[in-house]
């Protein structure tokens, strides 16, 4: 591919590096959330929502503690952002339309649909979600033509993917030490 003039390329590289650095910073925070989930016996998925360079919502998987299988990290974070809007008298639609989601694992089909309904434009994520992924792995909810389900969103995958996978592996290893309990524990698993 033909590159632009040398100086432009340097600028682009600098911009890319800045963007990359910023993403790495947010993804590190998301990874901490996933770690917290792991420590609480939840599937290690963590995320944060950034609006105007500020964290307006954070979440980690809370399925076990709420006994509600829909309490994935993204759903928890969406509720936090809504609460943030309420406290500051902001219009949620306007806020969500300019919010970026950073999440350690590809959003599942349910969360991808929820993100569409909220009209979040961009999702930066770590590893693929082979079992439930809604951004290409199982279905393409992020980009499919669904005129009555919010708007499509863009994805940037692969940030700190290795770490995200490692945590999931740790989770499923600790979930499985002895066979007898595995039946119930297996049912707790949501995102892998």
- Minimum CB separation of residue 86 from other proteins in Å reads 6
State the catalytic residue, choosing from 17, 22, 62, 74: 74
Query: How far does CA 65 lie from the centroid of its chain?
Result: 20
Non-local (6+) Cβ contacts of 147 within 8 A are: none
Length of the chain: 192
74 part of the active site: yes
148 binds other proteins per the rule CB under 8 A: yes
By C-beta, is 27 or 75 nearer to other proteins?
75
State the SS3 of 141-177.
CCCCCCCCCCCCCEEECCCCHHHHHHHHHHHHHHCCC
Q: Across the strands, what pairs with 59?
A: 47
By C-beta, is 55 or 138 nearer to other proteins?
138
Q: How far is CA 30 from CA 35, 73, 93, 167, 182, in A?
A: 9, 10, 23, 12, 28
Spatial contact of 161 and 103, defined as CB atoms under 8 Å apart: no
Q: Which of 69, 156, 166, 169 binds other proteins (CB under 8 A)?
A: 69
Of the candidate spans 16-24, 47-55, 156-164, 183-191, the one that interacts with other proteins by CB under 8 A turns out to be 183-191
- Minimum CB separation of residue 149 from other proteins in Å reads 5
Draw the binding track, 11-50, toward other proteins (x: CB under 8 A; -: no contact).
-----------------------------xxx--------
- How many Cα atoms within 13 Å fall on the side-chain side of residue 181? 8
Binding residues (CB under 8 A) for other proteins: these are: 40-42, 62, 64-71, 75-76, 78-86, 91-93, 108-114, 117-118, 131-132, 134, 138-139, 141, 146-149, 184, 187-188, 190
Catalytically active residues are: 74
């Amino acid at each position: 591919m033909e590159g632009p003039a040398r100086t432009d390329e340097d600028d682009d590289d600098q911009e890319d590096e800045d963007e990359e650095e910023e993403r790495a910073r947010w993804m590190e925070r998301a990874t901490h959330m996933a770690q917290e989930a792991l420590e609480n016996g939840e599937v290690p998925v963590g995320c944060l929502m950034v609006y105007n360079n500020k964290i307006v919502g954070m979440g980690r998987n809370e399925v076990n503690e709420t006994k509600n299988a829909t309490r994935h990290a993204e759903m928890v974070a969406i509720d936090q952002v809504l609460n943030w809007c309420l406290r500051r008298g902001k219009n949620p639609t306007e806020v969500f339309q300019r919010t970026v989601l950073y999440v350690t694992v590809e959003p599942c089909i349910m969360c991808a649909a929820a993100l569409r309904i909220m009209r979040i434009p961009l999702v930066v994520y770590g590893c693929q979600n082979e079992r439930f992924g809604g951004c290409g792995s199982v279905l393409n909810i992020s980009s499919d033509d669904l005129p009555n389900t919010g708007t499509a969103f863009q994805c940037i995958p692969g940030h700190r993917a290795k770490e995200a996978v490692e945590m999931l592996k740790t989770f499923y290893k600790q979930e499985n030490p002895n066979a007898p309990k595995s039946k119930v524990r297996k049912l707790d698993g949501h995102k892998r």
